């Protein structure tokens, strides 16, 4: 990663950035698709085990579900993917893919292939596991994916930019992610000629990514702030300091399951380390607010907690049709129950895994066909009952329920 000077944001020029890469491609383009590697593991194999960021093996956190860090990079003298024709995109893919496969971290990659060889259902599985973006799922010939064996590193080729280098881990691990992605970036920069301006930094298809080209984010589980009606205030405060709050699948998506992504918006005018330090500090503050809200609810609204967790457990154990939106919100309450000692800690991993396993593409993959909404809702309910059958009822004895609405203990 080339060390950047901190450049004031006013030097960002849309026209300058676009023109920097909109250059003619004179080299012979790859026309034979057989030159690409098709040695790809079936998506079905991804369903057998969960990714590290779901299992929470390293740095698991009860409020921060996962951390993600992504770098956008482009190859000099090639048009951006959105402006390039198919032959130009295939030429860039043929240049980048071998370089990525040669990285020590990617030599045992479980996927390295062109996006045209994935079915729409397989692409959606990758989206649901947060391994590719929704935008990349819409790509076909001339775009590719290389995925590390442990699924913590995902490199998208010819998404919005020529390269999207992404690392994803459980818990709050932004500093560790920066170190890992910085290493990959440096290794790739030795093999590829990245588009870089000494004045403004790395050039990207979207001017909002110019500079570091870095987006860092944390997926946070914030049920107490939602239940206590504080979440809107928190979001406004975070937005005021230049950070973004988004839903489960990023920009433009809903915060299902009380899961919120907090990320940086500025990529110009701050170094990578400054961005990560600022974001980490804000995340710690949001965590503190969530912890305080949980403690306040335990003290003043314990009956509401018992009701929310108990209802979630009862519905999922006795439901025969349930939507993906509803199940995420119910799983959120069970996860909160685990955090507060109402549900056994040993079932946390099962609950976390169900956040992904209950999504539409995961349910449909075994059938290799698109199911109707009614069929999916029925399968989802069956899966929930099967996975949770060993989970005991919520232990409401862990809560102080013998209080009146005013907080006074009932007279016996």
> Per residue in 90-100, pLDDT tens?
999 999 999 99
CATH classification at residue 177: 3.30.590.10
- End position of a domain, from candidates 163, 186, 215: 215
pLDDT tens digits for range 327-337 = 999 999 999 99
Token duo for residue 292? 């305080």
Nearest residue to 66 (alpha-carbon basis) of 243, 230, 262: 262
Structural domain ending residue among the three candidates 183, 215, 247: 215
pLDDT at 319: 96
Whether 205 and 322 map to the same domain: the answer is no
Unique residue bearing structure tokens 């509401």: 304
Structural domain includes residue 338? yes
Q: Is residue 206 domain-shared with residue 336, that is, in the same domain?
A: no
Both 57 and 192 in one domain: the answer is: yes
Residue range of the domain that includes 383: 301-398
Is the pLDDT score of 402 beyond 60? no
Verdict on whether the full-model pTM lies above 0.75: yes
- Residue 291 inside a domain? The answer is no
Examine the fold and report which residue of 215, 250, 277 is the final residue of a domain before the chain moves on.
Answer: 215
Q: What is the pLDDT of residues 252-288, one digit of tens each?
A: 567 799 999 999 998 999 999 999 999 999 999 999 9
pLDDT at 408: 55
**Between residues 389 and 8, the one the model is more confident about:** 389
Q: What percent of the chain has pLDDT over 90?
A: 73
* Same domain flag for 211 and 328: no
User: Domain tally for the chain?
Assistant: 2
Q: Is residue 383 part of a domain?
A: yes
Please report whether residue 136 resides in a domain.
Answer: yes
User: Do 70 and 211 fall into the same domain?
Assistant: yes
Q: What is the pLDDT of residues 148-159, one digit of tens each?
A: 988 999 999 999
């Amino acid at each position: 990663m080339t060390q950047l000077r901190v450049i004031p944001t006013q030097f960002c020029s849309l026209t300058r950035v676009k023109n920097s890469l909109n250059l003619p491609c004179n080299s012979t383009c790859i026309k034979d698709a057989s030159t690409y590697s098709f040695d790809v593991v079936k998506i079905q194999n991804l369903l057998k085990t969960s990714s590290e960021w779901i299992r929470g093996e390293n740095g698991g956190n009860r409020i921060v579900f996962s951390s993600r860090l992504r770098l956008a990079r482009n190859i000099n003298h090639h048009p951006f993917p959105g402006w390039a024709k198919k032959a130009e995109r295939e030429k860039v893919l043929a240049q980048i893919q071998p370089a990525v496969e040669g990285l020590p971290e990617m030599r045992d990659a479980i996927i390295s292939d062109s996006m045209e060889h994935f079915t729409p259902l397989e692409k959606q599985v990758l989206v649901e596991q947060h391994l590719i973006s929704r935008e990349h799922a819409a790509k076909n010939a001339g775009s590719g994916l290389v995925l590390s064996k442990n699924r913590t590193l995902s490199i998208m080729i010819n998404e919005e930019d020529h390269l999207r280098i992404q690392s994803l881990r459980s818990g709050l691990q932004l500093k560790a992610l920066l170190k890992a992605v910085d290493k990959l970036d440096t290794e790739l920069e030795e093999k590829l000629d990245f588009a870089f301006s000494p004045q403004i930094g790395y050039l990207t298809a979207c001017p909002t990514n110019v500079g570091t080209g870095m987006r860092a984010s944390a997926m946070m589980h914030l049920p107490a702030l939602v239940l206590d009606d504080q979440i809107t205030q928190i979001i406004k405060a975070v937005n005021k300091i230049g950070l973004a709050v988004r839903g489960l699948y990023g920009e433009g998506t809903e915060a299902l399951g009380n899961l919120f992504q907090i990320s940086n918006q500025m990529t110009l005018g701050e170094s990578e380390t400054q961005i990560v330090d600022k974001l980490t500090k804000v995340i710690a503050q949001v965590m503190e607010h969530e912890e305080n809200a949980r403690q306040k609810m335990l003290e003043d609204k314990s009956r509401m907690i018992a009701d929310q967790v108990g209802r979630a457990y009862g519905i999922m154990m006795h439901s025969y049709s349930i939507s993906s939106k509803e199940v995420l919100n119910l799983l959120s309450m069970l996860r909160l129950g685990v955090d507060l000692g109402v549900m056994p800690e040993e079932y946390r991993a099962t609950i976390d895994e169900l956040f992904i396993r209950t999504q539409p593409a995961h349910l449909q993959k075994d059938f290799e066909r698109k199911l109707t909404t009614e069929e999916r809702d029925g399968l989802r309910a069956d899966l929930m009952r099967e996975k949770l059958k060993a989970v005991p009822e919520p232990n409401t004895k862990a809560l102080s329920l013998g209080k009146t609405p005013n907080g006074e203990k009932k007279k016996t």
